Amino acid sequence: MSTAGLDRRSRRRQQTIDEILDVSIALMETEGVAALSLSAVARQLGMQPPSLYQYFPSKLAIYDALFRRGAEGFRDAQRVATVDAAPEDQLELAITAFSRWCMANQVLSQLLFWRTVPGFEPSAEAFAPAVDAIDDLKLCLQQEVDGGRLHQDATSDEGIALFTAITAGVLSQQLANEPQAAFETGRFTQLMPIVIEMFYQRYRGKKR
Protein backbone atom coordinates (compact mmCIF):
# COMPACT_ATOMS: atom_id res chain seq x y z
CA MET A 1 0.00 0.00 0.00
CA SER A 2 1.29 3.48 -0.86
CA THR A 3 2.12 5.77 2.06
CA ALA A 4 1.88 8.94 -0.05
CA GLY A 5 -0.28 11.57 1.62
CA LEU A 6 -0.04 10.00 5.08
CA ASP A 7 1.39 11.82 8.08
CA ARG A 8 4.55 10.50 9.71
CA ARG A 9 2.76 8.41 12.32
CA SER A 10 0.41 6.90 9.76
CA ARG A 11 3.32 6.15 7.43
CA ARG A 12 5.18 4.34 10.18
CA ARG A 13 2.07 2.34 11.03
CA GLN A 14 1.53 1.38 7.39
CA GLN A 15 5.19 0.42 7.04
CA THR A 16 4.84 -1.89 10.04
CA ILE A 17 1.69 -3.41 8.55
CA ASP A 18 3.52 -4.03 5.28
CA GLU A 19 6.41 -5.63 7.18
CA ILE A 20 4.00 -7.92 9.01
CA LEU A 21 2.47 -9.01 5.72
CA ASP A 22 5.87 -9.53 4.08
CA VAL A 23 7.07 -11.66 7.00
CA SER A 24 3.80 -13.61 6.93
CA ILE A 25 4.31 -14.46 3.26
CA ALA A 26 7.89 -15.56 3.90
CA LEU A 27 6.77 -17.85 6.73
CA MET A 28 3.92 -19.25 4.67
CA GLU A 29 6.41 -20.13 1.93
CA THR A 30 8.36 -22.34 4.31
CA GLU A 31 5.71 -23.55 6.76
CA GLY A 32 2.60 -23.71 4.56
CA VAL A 33 -0.18 -21.23 3.97
CA ALA A 34 -2.47 -22.59 6.69
CA ALA A 35 0.35 -22.91 9.24
CA LEU A 36 0.88 -19.19 9.81
CA SER A 37 1.72 -18.46 13.45
CA LEU A 38 1.32 -15.03 15.05
CA SER A 39 4.09 -15.81 17.52
CA ALA A 40 6.44 -16.70 14.65
CA VAL A 41 5.57 -13.46 12.85
CA ALA A 42 6.21 -11.46 16.02
CA ARG A 43 9.49 -13.27 16.62
CA GLN A 44 10.70 -12.47 13.11
CA LEU A 45 9.85 -8.81 13.64
CA GLY A 46 11.46 -8.65 17.08
CA MET A 47 8.23 -7.76 18.88
CA GLN A 48 6.04 -9.40 21.49
CA PRO A 49 2.99 -11.27 20.13
CA PRO A 50 0.50 -8.95 21.91
CA SER A 51 2.01 -6.03 19.98
CA LEU A 52 0.69 -7.52 16.73
CA TYR A 53 -2.84 -6.93 17.93
CA GLN A 54 -2.23 -3.20 17.53
CA TYR A 55 -2.18 -3.87 13.81
CA PHE A 56 -4.23 -7.03 13.29
CA PRO A 57 -6.84 -8.31 15.75
CA SER A 58 -6.40 -11.94 14.65
CA LYS A 59 -4.57 -14.28 12.30
CA LEU A 60 -7.62 -14.26 10.03
CA ALA A 61 -7.25 -10.48 9.74
CA ILE A 62 -3.72 -11.01 8.40
CA TYR A 63 -5.07 -13.50 5.89
CA ASP A 64 -7.70 -10.96 4.89
CA ALA A 65 -5.11 -8.24 4.30
CA LEU A 66 -3.01 -10.69 2.29
CA PHE A 67 -6.03 -11.68 0.22
CA ARG A 68 -6.64 -8.04 -0.62
CA ARG A 69 -2.97 -7.51 -1.49
CA GLY A 70 -3.05 -10.52 -3.78
CA ALA A 71 -6.33 -9.59 -5.47
CA GLU A 72 -5.06 -6.08 -6.12
CA GLY A 73 -1.82 -7.55 -7.44
CA PHE A 74 -3.27 -9.81 -10.11
CA ARG A 75 -5.95 -7.29 -11.08
CA ASP A 76 -3.35 -4.58 -11.59
CA ALA A 77 -1.01 -6.94 -13.47
CA GLN A 78 -3.78 -7.68 -15.95
CA ARG A 79 -4.64 -4.02 -16.36
CA VAL A 80 -1.04 -3.02 -17.01
CA ALA A 81 -0.70 -5.79 -19.61
CA THR A 82 -3.79 -4.74 -21.56
CA VAL A 83 -3.87 -0.96 -21.18
CA ASP A 84 -2.56 -0.11 -24.68
CA ALA A 85 -3.39 -3.37 -26.43
CA ALA A 86 -5.78 -3.84 -29.33
CA PRO A 87 -9.15 -5.28 -28.24
CA GLU A 88 -8.53 -8.58 -30.01
CA ASP A 89 -5.28 -9.10 -28.08
CA GLN A 90 -6.47 -8.19 -24.61
CA LEU A 91 -7.91 -11.54 -23.51
CA GLU A 92 -4.71 -13.48 -24.18
CA LEU A 93 -2.54 -10.73 -22.70
CA ALA A 94 -4.70 -10.63 -19.57
CA ILE A 95 -4.55 -14.37 -18.93
CA THR A 96 -0.81 -14.41 -19.62
CA ALA A 97 -0.28 -11.59 -17.11
CA PHE A 98 -2.50 -13.37 -14.60
CA SER A 99 -0.56 -16.62 -15.07
CA ARG A 100 2.80 -14.92 -14.65
CA TRP A 101 1.58 -13.19 -11.51
CA CYS A 102 0.37 -16.48 -10.02
CA MET A 103 3.67 -18.19 -10.71
CA ALA A 104 5.60 -15.32 -9.16
CA ASN A 105 3.27 -15.14 -6.13
CA GLN A 106 2.50 -18.76 -5.35
CA VAL A 107 1.70 -18.28 -1.65
CA LEU A 108 -0.87 -15.59 -2.39
CA SER A 109 -2.25 -17.69 -5.25
CA GLN A 110 -2.92 -20.55 -2.84
CA LEU A 111 -4.70 -18.20 -0.46
CA LEU A 112 -6.75 -16.61 -3.24
CA PHE A 113 -7.77 -19.60 -5.32
CA TRP A 114 -7.38 -22.88 -3.44
CA ARG A 115 -9.05 -22.36 -0.04
CA THR A 116 -6.02 -23.57 1.88
CA VAL A 117 -6.99 -21.94 5.20
CA PRO A 118 -9.92 -23.67 6.97
CA GLY A 119 -12.54 -21.21 8.14
CA PHE A 120 -11.17 -18.23 6.25
CA GLU A 121 -13.51 -16.15 4.12
CA PRO A 122 -12.30 -12.81 2.71
CA SER A 123 -14.17 -9.70 3.71
CA ALA A 124 -16.13 -7.78 1.08
CA GLU A 125 -13.43 -5.11 1.09
CA ALA A 126 -10.66 -7.66 0.50
CA PHE A 127 -12.68 -9.43 -2.19
CA ALA A 128 -13.56 -6.24 -4.09
CA PRO A 129 -10.41 -6.20 -6.30
CA ALA A 130 -11.18 -9.79 -7.37
CA VAL A 131 -14.64 -8.61 -8.43
CA ASP A 132 -12.96 -5.84 -10.42
CA ALA A 133 -10.81 -8.46 -12.16
CA ILE A 134 -13.86 -10.51 -13.13
CA ASP A 135 -15.50 -7.36 -14.49
CA ASP A 136 -12.35 -6.74 -16.54
CA LEU A 137 -12.57 -10.29 -17.87
CA LYS A 138 -16.19 -9.77 -18.84
CA LEU A 139 -15.18 -6.61 -20.72
CA CYS A 140 -12.47 -8.50 -22.63
CA LEU A 141 -14.95 -11.22 -23.56
CA GLN A 142 -17.58 -8.68 -24.60
CA GLN A 143 -15.04 -7.02 -26.88
CA GLU A 144 -14.45 -10.39 -28.51
CA VAL A 145 -18.22 -10.79 -28.92
CA ASP A 146 -18.50 -7.29 -30.43
CA GLY A 147 -15.68 -8.14 -32.82
CA GLY A 148 -17.48 -11.29 -33.95
CA ARG A 149 -14.81 -13.62 -32.60
CA LEU A 150 -16.97 -15.04 -29.80
CA HIS A 151 -20.66 -15.80 -29.43
CA GLN A 152 -22.59 -13.77 -26.86
CA ASP A 153 -22.90 -16.86 -24.66
CA ALA A 154 -19.19 -16.48 -23.84
CA THR A 155 -20.15 -13.65 -21.49
CA SER A 156 -22.82 -15.68 -19.70
CA ASP A 157 -22.35 -17.08 -16.21
CA GLU A 158 -21.51 -20.41 -17.81
CA GLY A 159 -18.94 -18.80 -20.10
CA ILE A 160 -17.22 -16.96 -17.27
CA ALA A 161 -17.22 -20.10 -15.12
CA LEU A 162 -15.78 -22.20 -17.93
CA PHE A 163 -13.04 -19.72 -18.79
CA THR A 164 -11.91 -19.32 -15.20
CA ALA A 165 -12.12 -23.08 -14.56
CA ILE A 166 -9.97 -24.14 -17.49
CA THR A 167 -7.34 -21.44 -17.08
CA ALA A 168 -7.13 -21.88 -13.31
CA GLY A 169 -6.93 -25.64 -13.87
CA VAL A 170 -3.84 -25.22 -16.03
CA LEU A 171 -2.21 -23.06 -13.37
CA SER A 172 -3.17 -25.46 -10.60
CA GLN A 173 -1.48 -28.31 -12.44
CA GLN A 174 1.60 -26.21 -13.12
CA LEU A 175 2.02 -25.02 -9.54
CA ALA A 176 1.39 -28.50 -8.16
CA ASN A 177 3.82 -30.30 -10.44
CA GLU A 178 6.46 -27.80 -11.62
CA PRO A 179 6.32 -24.80 -9.28
CA GLN A 180 9.81 -23.61 -10.23
CA ALA A 181 9.31 -23.67 -14.01
CA ALA A 182 9.12 -20.52 -16.09
CA PHE A 183 5.80 -19.61 -17.69
CA GLU A 184 7.24 -20.11 -21.18
CA THR A 185 8.64 -23.57 -20.47
CA GLY A 186 6.19 -25.01 -17.94
CA ARG A 187 4.72 -28.33 -19.02
CA PHE A 188 1.20 -27.09 -18.29
CA THR A 189 1.45 -23.34 -18.89
CA GLN A 190 2.64 -24.09 -22.42
CA LEU A 191 -0.86 -25.49 -22.94
CA MET A 192 -2.56 -22.17 -22.12
CA PRO A 193 -2.91 -21.04 -25.78
CA ILE A 194 -4.48 -24.42 -26.61
CA VAL A 195 -6.89 -24.09 -23.68
CA ILE A 196 -7.90 -20.60 -24.78
CA GLU A 197 -8.43 -21.88 -28.34
CA MET A 198 -10.70 -24.61 -26.92
CA PHE A 199 -12.75 -21.86 -25.27
CA TYR A 200 -13.03 -20.06 -28.61
CA GLN A 201 -14.14 -23.28 -30.27
CA ARG A 202 -16.86 -23.72 -27.64
CA TYR A 203 -18.16 -20.18 -28.18
CA ARG A 204 -17.21 -19.69 -31.79
CA GLY A 205 -18.20 -16.35 -33.28
CA LYS A 206 -19.07 -15.56 -36.89
CA LYS A 207 -15.56 -14.34 -37.72
CA ARG A 208 -13.73 -17.38 -36.34
Q: Is 17 contained in some domain? A: yes
- The answer to whether residue 208 sits within a structural domain is no
Model confidence band, residue 5 (pLDDT cutoffs 50, 70, 90):
low
Instruction: Look at residues 57, 76, 92 and tell me which one is the last residue of a structural domain.
Output: 57
Digit-coded pLDDT (tens) for 14-68? 999 999 999 999 999 999 999 999 999 999 999 998 899 999 999 999 999 999 9
Could you give phi then psi for residue 117, rounded to 5 degrees?
-115, 105
Supply the CATH number for residue 172's domain: 1.10.357
Q: Which positions ≥6 away from 145 have C-beta within 8 Å?
A: 151, 152, 154, 155, 205
Q: What is the mean pLDDT of the chain?
A: 94
CA dihedral 153, 154, 159, 162 (to 10 degrees): 140
Question: Which of 57, 75, 91 represents a domain boundary (last residue)?
Answer: 57
pTM score of the predicted model = 0.91
Examine the pLDDT at 208 and tell me if it is beyond 60. no
pLDDT of residue 2: 60
Instruction: Based on the fold, state whether residues 43 and 13 are members of the same structural domain.
Output: yes
Find the length of the chain.
208
Q: Are residues 127 and 178 in the same domain?
A: yes
Give pLDDT tens digits for 67-111. 999 999 999 999 999 999 999 999 999 999 999 999 999 999 999
**145 and 90 housed in the same domain:** yes
Is 131 part of any domain? yes
Q: What is the DSSP string of 115-126?
A: --STT----HHH
Check whether residue 53 and residue 74 sit in a common domain. no
Q: Do 193 and 142 fall into the same domain?
A: yes
Report the interhelical angle of 157-177 vs 106-113 (nearest 10°): 140
The whole domain housing 198 covers 67-202
Using DSSP, state whether 160 is helix, strand or coil: helix
Report the pLDDT value the prediction gives residue 49, as an integer from 0 to 100. Answer: 87
Q: Residue range 185-208: average pLDDT?
A: 91
CA distance 48 to 26: 19
Instruction: Indicate if 167 and 88 belong to the same structural domain.
Output: yes
Which of 85, 66, 92, 117 has the alpha carbon at shortest distance from 192?
92
Q: How confident is the model at residue 4 (pLDDT cuts 50, 70, 90)?
A: low
pLDDT band at 10 (very low <50, low <70, confident <90, very high): confident
Q: In the predicted model, what is the mean pLDDT of residues 148-177?
A: 96
